[in-house]
Amino acid sequence: MGNSSPMFMIVFLPLILGFCMLFLPNKLRGLAKAITLLASLVAIYYAFGIFSSPPEPYSFSLIAVDNFTLSLDLAATKLGTFILLAVCGFGVLISIYSLKAIGTETKRACEYFAAILLTIGGSAGILLTQHLLVLLICWEIVTASLYLMIITGGRHSNFAGTKSFAMIGASDGALLLGIAMLWLQSGSFDIRVIHLATDAAVPVAAFILLLTAAVTKAGAMPLHTWMPTSGEHAPVSVMALLPAAIDKLLGIYLLVLIVKDLFLLTSTSLRLALTIIGAATIVIAVMVAMVQHNLKKLLSYHAISQVGYMVLGIASGTPVGLAGGVFHMLNHAIYKCCLFLCGGAVEQASGTSELEKLGGLGRKMPVTFTCCLIAALSISGIPPLNGFVSKWMVYQGIIQMGTAGTSGVVSSLWPLWLLSAMFGSALTLASFVKVIHSVFLNRQRDALTNVKEVSRIQLIPMIALAALCILLGLFYVTVLSGLIFPALGLDAVTINLSTWQAGLATGMLLIGALIGIVIWLFGTKAVRVRQVPTWYCGETIDNEKMVVPGTHFYRTVSEMRGLRQLYTAQEKGWFDLYDQGGRLGLAVTGFLRWMHGGILPMYLTWVMVGLLAILFVLCNIW
């Protein structure tokens, strides 16, 4: 087969164009925007074709040395093509949003748009290849693209880019070692023929290494800290495309590949570890998100928390839990991308993302407010939106895991996993009550008088994503039967899935909302409301000047005994593996510097100690 294969084109066309665009001068950013939009549209065209009519497997030899051959080995699997369609869709939406969001003030616009294409091409390679080494190469391309996109945010984004590259790069090293162990055990790099039982030391070590790469890319705890740092300093469109959407899709794709194909998860300890990671990620990340004052940082911690539902659903080992975890992966990418784009619109219009400086933007930015409200309700698991359906499926998976009659500590602790998931959903709703109040419903600040809605072209992706939140919730049965179940090789008939009438429930909710509006319209006219001045510490304050800061919500939680110390330690980076690794490195460097102080007696002492150690080990003199 020639190189006209759609699978070959969707991988290499974006990669080649993206690489060439890296060398374009910034004055040609208009050309870079046009190329990116056109290439992303071509990519989604190919993705639709590959998904609807899967082509024959495509193999192209890259390197052949003796008995070793490195070839592309592209194949259109149902899971890979389903996620590829989502990746290309997000690529198009972010390209459209960035046409206006990345303006003339950005000095590295061409690099930014080049990184979008590199991300699309690298992701396509990951999702289509059946060769583990090619997957690793494409994985590194996406990592490099993330770094390039983050540092386009300016001076303050350099540290965020370095931290992200260091943490994800270290996990990529774990991926390399895990692949090497898989090859030692199976003698092959072909994903289709590897299926190892986790009943020996080497397969267990390989599983842990690959799991490390997957959870770091997805942003699960404890390897999550690159994401909040990036969220605070990187351009919001970067967060919407990679950490909120594509990185989640790729990380969970690798996790499903590990649990379902590459390994037979027979180890109770590994399943318990996976379940603990999921439950802890849900609860801890959402509790940190509740007390954040920066909108983008708050959204980043929620992006971390939602990964826990995906991991927990996959770890349940039940068909409905697995399907729920993968469905939540898709739903999360949709509503979290929408939330980041809304946050970027707010920051662009107001000049800040600090909640204390925002307020009253509901009337100034009605479209952004509506889209943000829909996405916030969706991430909180409110019916009939898509976030409710996937969370509800994860709950069912956990319950079925505990009631299936299987023995083991993981199954016996199912009430704890269920409580963690439901508690996290409640805290998510509480957190977004703070966000909606602080940004849109609070009294308008004087500095925001002239704020207006962002450009129409930036509103298109937000409206599309908010509409998807509604549609995927209402027509979830179609999505499950047409996308999720086939992607996972599950038979919808044999899955014990409790259904609910989305249309009826939506109608009842709308009727209730309509009744509330009628009561509000006519009730306020019938009842005379007495207005009195606001009293504050014995003084009268003008009502128009009285502002209730949203950042004060849940302050009592952060000041509770025990939690206060944990929040303080978290802010100081005590739980940040990147910071702690840096401190350890500095300590080791200081010790080595002390050892090599230039004093001859000290050098002679170390020489003698080394000789004695060699004699003890090699000559067995004692």
- Residues 419 and 546 reside in one and the same domain: yes
> pLDDT-based confidence at 524, cuts 50/70/90?
low
pLDDT of residue 241: 77
Looking at the domain assignment, is residue 305 inside a domain? yes
| Tokens at 300, concatenated | 């980043």
Q: Residue 365 phi/psi, 5° resolution?
A: -130, 70
- Residues 289 and 410 reside in one and the same domain: yes
Are 268 and 198 contacting, i.e. CB atoms less than 8 angstroms apart? no
| Cα first-last separation, the chain | 68
CB neighbourhood size of 531 (10 A): 6
- Determine the Cα–Cα distance for residues 47 and 293; give it in Å rounded to an integer: 39
- 515: three-class secondary structure by DSSP: helix
- Determine the Cα–Cα distance for residues 63 and 54; give it in Å rounded to an integer: 26
The total domain count for the chain is: 2
Q: What's 496's DSSP letter? A: -
Looking at the domain assignment, is residue 245 inside a domain? no
- Determine the Cα–Cα distance for residues 121 and 19; give it in Å rounded to an integer: 11
Residue of 4 and 459 predicted with greater confidence: 459
Least confidently predicted of 24-38, 425-439, 536-550: 536-550
* Residue 24 burial (10 A CB sphere; 0-12, 13-18, 19+): middle
Looking at the domain assignment, is residue 147 inside a domain? no
Give whichever of 226-230, 306-310, 609-613 has the largest mean pLDDT.
306-310
pLDDT of residue 232: 79
Residue-wise pLDDT tens digits, 407-424: 578 888 889 999 999 999
> pLDDT-based confidence at 469, cuts 50/70/90?
very high
pLDDT of residue 525: 63
- Residues 472 and 581 reside in one and the same domain: no
Percent of the chain at pLDDT > 70 equals: 93
* Residue 530 burial (10 A CB sphere; 0-12, 13-18, 19+): exposed
- Summarize the confidence of residues 84-105 as an average pLDDT: 85
- Residues 414 and 456 reside in one and the same domain: yes
- Residues 319 and 343 reside in one and the same domain: yes
Is 96 a residue whose pLDDT tops 60? yes
Looking at the domain assignment, is residue 602 inside a domain? yes
- Residues 333 and 432 reside in one and the same domain: yes
Best CA proximity match to 389, nearest among 471, 449, 466: 471
- Residues 532 and 614 reside in one and the same domain: no
Q: How far is C-alpha 491 from the chain's CA centre?
A: 28
- Determine the Cα–Cα distance for residues 588 and 434; give it in Å rounded to an integer: 44
Residue-wise pLDDT tens digits, 40-76: 999 999 999 999 998 888 887 777 776 667 788 889 9
Is 581 a residue whose pLDDT tops 70? yes
Q: Residue 554 phi/psi, 5° resolution?
A: 65, 20
CB neighbourhood size of 416 (10 A): 14
- Summarize the confidence of residues 75-94 as an average pLDDT: 91
Match 């009285």 to its residue by tokens: 546
Residue of 447 and 116 predicted with greater confidence: 116
Least confidently predicted of 199-213, 429-443, 544-558: 544-558
Least confidently predicted of 281-295, 378-392, 443-457, 549-563: 549-563
- Residues 561 and 585 reside in one and the same domain: no
> Mutual orientation of helices 295-315 and 268-290 as an angle, nearest 10°?
160
> pLDDT-based confidence at 238, cuts 50/70/90?
confident
- Residues 332 and 414 reside in one and the same domain: yes
- Summarize the confidence of residues 16-22 as an average pLDDT: 92
H or E element: which one contains 540?
strand 539-541
- Summarize the confidence of residues 438-448 as an average pLDDT: 83
Residue of 4 and 256 predicted with greater confidence: 256
Residue of 549 and 336 predicted with greater confidence: 336
H or E element: which one contains 71?
strand 68-71
Is 405 a residue whose pLDDT tops 70? no
- Residues 398 and 532 reside in one and the same domain: yes
- Residues 455 and 558 reside in one and the same domain: yes
| Tokens at 73, concatenated | 């080995």
Best CA proximity match to 464, nearest among 228, 240, 218, 235: 240
CB neighbourhood size of 579 (10 A): 14
| Tokens at 500, concatenated | 């609910």
- Determine the Cα–Cα distance for residues 352 and 343; give it in Å rounded to an integer: 10
Looking at the domain assignment, is residue 375 inside a domain? yes
Nearest-5° Cα angle at 569, 563 to 575: 110
Which structural domain range is residue 451 located in?
267-496+528-566
CB neighbourhood size of 15 (10 A): 20
Looking at the domain assignment, is residue 337 inside a domain? yes
> pLDDT-based confidence at 621, cuts 50/70/90?
low
Looking at the domain assignment, is residue 303 inside a domain? yes
- Residues 485 and 547 reside in one and the same domain: yes
Looking at the domain assignment, is residue 538 inside a domain? yes
pLDDT of residue 1: 44
Q: How does DSSP assign 111-134, residue by residue? A: HHHHHHHHHHHHHHHHHHB-BHHH
Is 384 a residue whose pLDDT tops 60? yes
> pLDDT-based confidence at 257, cuts 50/70/90?
very high
Residue-wise pLDDT tens digits, 340-365: 999 989 988 888 888 888 888 888 99
Query: Model's pTM, two decimal places?
Result: 0.88
Q: Give me the chain's average pLDDT, please.
A: 85
Nearest-5° Cα angle at 452, 450 to 455: 145
